[in-house]
């Protein structure tokens, strides 16, 4: 399914990958709306990015657009989707069926052709055996067996911080886990061959508040200097 990543682009940075994901989302919308062509300037305006940044990112894919015309929306989407898609559908286990786990499972964006939540896990006997978003919930104690049986290679941790390292260790002990996405506040350790990523859903809120503070401070500095003048 996925196309190879263009050679020498394997080192493409995380922020760039993040923007490629955003371009893909925008292009899917444009396809839905029947827009045939889009320019880097239009993409930039819609996503609050510089058009030079957009052109640079898309040139990674060997896409240059036509000067004064723009990019063919369908072709660009196809290329982007190919680069971002794994070589095989990734089978994912989600561990921890709390509010966040359920919100993730039921989120529209989670219905991707790139990955598939194959099993969910919890330690609460009231949850084990129930079905969440179409997925059977297994006991965390059975996780190593289920990971092997269902060929799961990525786990998403939506467990409390106090349980996260223990769950990660149990999953990693199977030798089958390539990556883990940690939504808990725990600081986790794993062998170097396992790629662990932390997601702090409030970090964007903190960034926003910091930016507003910086703007406020500049504004205050300006009004002080205006008062002195």
CA distance linking residue 223 with residue 50, whole number of Å: 30
Nearer to its own copies, 91 or 136 (CB): 91
Query: Binding to its own copies by residue 175, rule CB under 8 A?
Result: no
For the chain, what's the residue count?
229
- The interface with its own copies within residues 45-104 (CB under 8 A) comprises 46-48, 84, 86-87, 90, 98-100, 102-104
Which of helix, strand or coil describes residue 73?
helix
Q: Closer to its own copies at the Cβ: 106 or 142?
A: 106
Position 216 contacts its own copies (CB under 8 A): yes
**CA angle, 227 as apex, 225 and 228 as ends, to 5°?**
65
CB 161 within 8 A of CB 184: yes
Q: Which stretch binds its own copies (CB under 8 A): 18-26, 65-73, 139-147, 164-172?
A: 18-26
The answer to the question of residue 224 lying near its own copies (CB under 8 A) is: no
Provide the minimum distance between the beta carbon of 141 and its own copies in the complex, in angstroms, as a whole number: 25
Q: How far apart are CA 166 and CA 184, in angstroms?
A: 12
CA–CA separation, 75 and 27 (whole Å): 10
End-to-end CA distance of the chain: 65
Contact between 229 and its own copies per CB under 8 A = no
Are the CB atoms for 167 and 140 separated by under 8 Å?
yes
By C-beta, is 8 or 67 nearer to its own copies?
A: 8
Question: Is 178 a binder of its own copies (CB under 8 A)?
Answer: yes
Buried b (16+ CB within 10 A) or exposed e, 164-177: bbebbebbbeeebb
Q: Quick one: which of 58, 76, 156, 172 contacts its own copies (CB under 8 A)?
A: 156
Residues that bind its own copies (CB under 8 A): 2, 4-5, 10-12, 14-15, 17-18, 21-22, 25-26, 29, 46-48, 84, 86-87, 90, 98-100, 102-104, 106-110, 112, 114-115, 153-154, 156, 178-179, 181, 185, 187, 189, 195-218
């Amino acid at each position: 399914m996925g196309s190879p990543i263009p050679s020498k682009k394997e080192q493409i940075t995380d922020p760039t990958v993040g923007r490629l994901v955003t371009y893909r989302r925008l292009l899917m919308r444009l396809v839905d709306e029947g827009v045939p062509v889009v320019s880097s300037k239009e993409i930039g305006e819609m996503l609050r990015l510089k058009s030079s940044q957009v052109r640079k990112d898309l040139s990674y894919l060997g896409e240059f657009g036509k000067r004064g015309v723009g990019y063919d929306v369908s072709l660009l989407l196809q290329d982007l989707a190919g680069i971002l898609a794994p070589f095989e559908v990734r089978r994912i286990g989600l561990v921890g069926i709390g509010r966040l786990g359920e919100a993730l499972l039921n989120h529209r964006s989670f219905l991707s052709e790139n990955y598939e939540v194959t099993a969910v896990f919890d330690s609460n006997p009231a949850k084990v055996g129930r079905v969440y978003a179409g997925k059977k919930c297994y006991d965390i104690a059975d996780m190593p067996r289920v990971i092997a049986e269902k060929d799961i290679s990525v786990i998403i941790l939506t467990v409390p911080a106090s349980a996260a390292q223990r769950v990660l260790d149990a999953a990693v002990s199977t030798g089958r886990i390539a990556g883990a996405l940690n939504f808990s506040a725990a600081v986790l350790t794993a062998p170097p061959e396992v790629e662990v990523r932390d997601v702090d859903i409030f970090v964007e809120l903190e960034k926003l508040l910091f930016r507003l503070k910086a703007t406020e401070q500049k504004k205050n500095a300006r009004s002080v200097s205006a008062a002195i003048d």
